[in-house]
């Protein structure tokens, strides 16, 4: 997969955004009574911009808050899936509690640090931002896998990351 890059070397094409509108009876059934109608319209993107390090990403929403720096303690909500079959292996949303960690010091997989802090060809996330990233196995758990077999060896992973901001 090639990166989508404009004629200017530092400019990366913005991923296409798509809007999914779910029919009223279906969203009422899926979301349950009392949920707001706007929840039935979801903006999502298919990761289609590849960085030199192999991470493929797209921004669902670009945040307007602060950009974290290496060593900051940040909070993120996330959903992790296997790229091979889209099976969810972990989600902070399900626990109702975001993950707090020190970014850029190896407390999470390398692909996360790079996707959040940015690189030459991946812009850093800002608080309030939502990004979908495909992390190649080499920047995830590699040959060892993880979770007692939940994440198999050499698995590419997909994460929906929501950067909530720095810990207060």
Taking a C-beta distance cutoff of 8 angstroms, is the pair 42, 36 a contact? no
Length of the chain: 168
Choice among 12, 72, 74, 141 that is catalytic: 141
Active site residue 141: yes
CA atoms within 13 A on the CB side of 142: 6
Choice among 57, 72, 74, 78 that is catalytic: 78
CA atoms within 13 A on the CB side of 3: 20
- Start-end of H helices in 32-100: 92-95
Choice among 101, 113, 159, 161 that is catalytic: 159
Choice among 48, 89, 93, 121 that is catalytic: 89
Choice among 55, 57, 74, 90 that is catalytic: 90
Active site residue 109: yes
Query: d(Cα 44, Cα 163) in Å, to the nearest integer?
Result: 16
Active site residue 29: no
Choice among 12, 55, 74, 109 that is catalytic: 109
Cα→Cα distances 145→104, 110, 115, 152, 157, Å: 21, 14, 20, 5, 11
Catalytically active residues, by annotation? 78, 89-90, 109, 141, 159
């Amino acid at each position: 997969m090639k990166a989508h890059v404009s004629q200017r070397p530092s400019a990366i094409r913005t991923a296409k955004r798509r809007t999914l509108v779910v029919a009223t009876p279906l969203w009422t059934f899926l979301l349950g009574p009392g949920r707001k109608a706007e929840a039935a319209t979801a903006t999502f993107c298919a990761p289609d911009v590849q960085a030199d390090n192999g991470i493929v990403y797209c921004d669902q929403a670009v945040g307007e808050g602060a950009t974290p720096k290496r060593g900051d303690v940040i909070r993120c909500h996330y959903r992790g899936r296997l790229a091979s079959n889209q099976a969810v292996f972990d989600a902070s949303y399900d626990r109702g509690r975001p993950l707090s960690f020190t970014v850029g010091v190896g407390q999470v997989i390398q692909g996360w640090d790079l996707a959040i802090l940015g690189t030459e060809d991946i812009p850093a996330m800002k608080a309030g931002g939502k990004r979908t990233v495909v992390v190649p196995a080499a920047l995830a758990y590699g040959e060892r896998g993880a979770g007692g077999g939940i994440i198999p060896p050499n698995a590419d992973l997909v994460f929906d990351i929501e950067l909530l901001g720095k810990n207060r």
